[in-house]
Amino acid sequence: MKKLIDELSDICQKAFTEAGYEAGFGRVNVSSRPDLCEYQVNGALPCAKKEHKKPIDIANEVAEILKGAKAFSKVETCMPGFINLDIDPAFLADYLSEMSRDENLGIIPDEKKRIIVDYGGANVAKPLHLGHLRSAVIGEAIKRMGTAMGNEMIGDVHLGDWGLQMGLIIEELKDRGQTEFTMSDLEEIYPAASAKSKATDENGNPTPAAQAFKERALEATKKLQAGDPECTEIWKKVMELSKADLKKNYDHLDVHFELWKGESDVQKYIPDMLSDFEKRGIAHEDQGALVVDIREDTDKKDIPPCIIRKSDGAALYATTDLATILEREKLFAPDDYIYLTDKRQELHFQSFFRVARKAGLVRPEQSLTHIGFGTMNGKDGKPFKTRSGGVMRLEMLIKDIEDAVYEKIRANRDESEISEVEAREIAETVGLAALKYGDLSNQAAKDYIFDIDRFTSFEGNTGPYILYTIVRIGSILRSYYAAEGEKPEETFKPALEASVDALNLGLSLSRFNEMAASAWKELAPHKICQFIYEVSNCFNTFYHNCMILKEEDSELRASYIALLKLTKDVLSKCIWMLGFAAPEKM
């Protein structure tokens, strides 16, 4: 379905042509002065320059033509040459009807692409922490936005499952003489082993015991990577436990991956890949290491070469990421790639992206995009910590949010309507929305302050406010359907003509497809948040100023209901894209 603004532009461009001017000057914009008009055309000004005429004369000529168009209820000009427009309610009503009949609510699907989104990045055997939270939350939203736009999106968890942490665990188990272990054992074993390998004396130097332990862990890691059966046995068990635990955590966040692959899956490609790079002169040796020059003439600052094999023969983070592209090309042949991590990893991505291009692992038309996000800070502006000062575990954080929401629900609760069990369930749904909206409503690249009180508030620009709006609409619709039955109503015209608040709501809703396209193009979930906040505000104003169910004219009442239903559908689609859902009541 065409964007409304494009439909209006077509009409205005035709008017410019009819008046003898270039069509391009007729582009319509949403008004920057909503107090004066809904839309405006500013093209008479540049057009006048070209034609050596007065802008206002051109504006008046075009306005005369536009007055005959049924799309506009008001056409005015003002100095020095603006054309101010209001849309005709009947025209808007037709647009909204078409939108509500369309299963995509008017979204114009992309030419379907297959896109891999790499947004897990959790490290096996280490607890999921806040650094991975934003990746999961933003990545899931990006993935769903792409899906809504008609693409085939493949999310990969890309586990960190091949590092030193495995060697540390293997050696720690040995020291403890332990062969059996559970996930909660692992949660204690890894931090203990890590601390043991980093122990320092009073001067801050590593102790001999720590050094020796770390040596052994490195050795065990190497043995594992060389396929030693004993180490592999332990690794498999660690993987099995960790994956199950991670799945549970991601499920709880309503984050779901199509692929559960990890760094370990691509190690097998590395030797051939490196010798191929060497043979083709993509990589060369430098002080024992294998490196790729990636400097480009246009670089403003010096970009260091990308090291893909250390002098001791070990592969690095970039090596693994390159081998992962190799595998993804082989198995999935995606059109594009999107990666999400903390923005401190920017250079890493820039660097291996360049190697991938230079080596021809991807074709020039494939895009490689890294979304680098900021940190989540506490109210003191520093990276978020628990009350006791430790790094906050994800489960704890989620629980704190759920508890805060639960308290609010309990305070408002009418016990005949919401039982204790229900209140807990609702708190889970609303808590997740509070957490995700609190994150997604900020531009991803920016740091943001995690503020439980604000995030869980039922008022203001928050997840719970949006959900509350949806719940309120749902309850009005239920009452209406219970009294009058469900009929396929799409008559928007009476509502838009009767109430300026309904008209404003309709105007906001009509921008849905335009918003969805631009949020996706810019990979900016915060634009969806802005949009639903605006729609919710419009709805709530309308709700406060209008009797909906008590409206006596049944046709007008039905028309209000059509508008409510579309509002609910649009909001629901938007929160689905953001990765959360609304409860029935709250």
What is the enclosing helix (H) or strand (E) of 239?
helix 229-252
Q: How far is the CB of 357 from ligand ARG (least distance, A)?
A: 16
Closer to ligand ARG by Cβ: residue 158 or 196: 158
Selected from 171, 172, 245, 321, the binder of ligand ARG by CB under 6 A is 321
Give me the DSSP letters along 280-302: TTSSEEETTEEEE----TT-SSP
Q: Which is nearer to ligand ARG, 321 or 514 (CB)?
A: 321
Query: How far apart are the C-alpha atoms of 230 and 110, rounded to whole Å?
Result: 50
* Alpha-carbon torsion, ordered 249, 253, 257, 262, to 10 deg: -40
Residues 6+ apart with CB under 8 A from 165: 123, 124, 125, 126, 190, 194
What is the layout of strands, in order, in the sheet containing 367-373? 152-156, 114-118, 336-342, 367-373
Verify binding: residue 436, ligand ARG, rule CB under 6 A: no
Q: Which residue is nearest to ligand ARG (CB)?
A: 121
For residue 33, what is the enclosing H or E element?
none
Binding range to ligand ARG, per CB under 6 A, among 76-84, 116-124, 547-555, 576-584: 116-124
| Tokens linked to 573 | 């689609």
CB-nearer residue toward ligand ARG: 230 or 346: 346
Q: How far apart are the first and last CA of the chain?
A: 34
* Nearest residue (CB) to ligand ARG, 221 versus 456: 221
**Contact positions with ligand ARG (CB under 6 A) in 131-160:** 158, 160
**What minimum distance in Å lies between the beta carbon of 141 and ligand ARG?**
17
328 in contact with ligand ARG (CB under 6 A) = no
351: contact with ligand ARG by CB under 6 A? no
CB of 193 to ligand ARG, least distance (A): 18
* Minimum distance of ligand ARG from residue 160's CB (angstroms): 3
Establish if 337 lies at the interface with ligand ARG (CB under 6 A): no
Q: Give the C-alpha separation, 210 to 214, whole Å.
A: 6
CA distance 518 to 516: 6
Output the smallest distance, CB 117 to ligand ARG, in A: 11
Minimum Å gap between C-beta 165 and ligand ARG is 11
Q: What are phi and psi of 140, to 5 degrees?
A: -60, -40
Q: Please, which residue, 373 or 468, has the CB nearer to ligand ARG?
A: 373
Tell me: does residue 261 bind ligand ARG (CB under 6 A).
no
Q: Which two tokens stand for residue 208?
A: 């001999």
Instruction: List binders of ligand ARG among 187-216 (CB under 6 A).
Output: none
CB-count burial class (<10 Å; 0-12, 13-18, 19+) for 228:
middle
* Total of residues contacting ligand ARG (CB under 6 A): 8
Residue 118 binding ligand ARG, by CB under 6 A: yes
Residues 47-76 that bind ligand ARG (CB under 6 A): none
Strand-pair category, 152-156 with 367-373: unpaired
Q: Does 373 bind ligand ARG (CB under 6 A)?
A: no
Q: If binding is defined by CB under 6 A, does position 510 make contact with ligand ARG? A: no
Binds ligand ARG (CB under 6 A): choice among 341, 442, 456, 513: 341
Q: Which residues of 479-515 are buried (b: 16+ CB within 10 A; e: fewer)?
A: ebeeeeeeeebbbbbbbbbbbebbbbbbbbbbbbbbb
C-beta closer to ligand ARG: residue 121 or 583: 121
Considering only 31-39, 77-85, 118-126, 454-462, which stretch makes contact with ligand ARG by CB under 6 A? 118-126
| DSSP symbol at 122 | P
Of the candidates 578, 570, 573, 520, which has an alpha carbon nearest to the alpha carbon of residue 253?
Answer: 578
Residue of 16, 82, 162, 339 that binds ligand ARG (CB under 6 A): 339
Does 165 bind ligand ARG (CB under 6 A)? Our answer is no
- Is 162 a binding residue for ligand ARG by CB under 6 A? The answer is no
Please give the residue ranges that form the binding site for ligand ARG (CB under 6 A): 118, 121, 123, 158, 160, 321, 339, 341
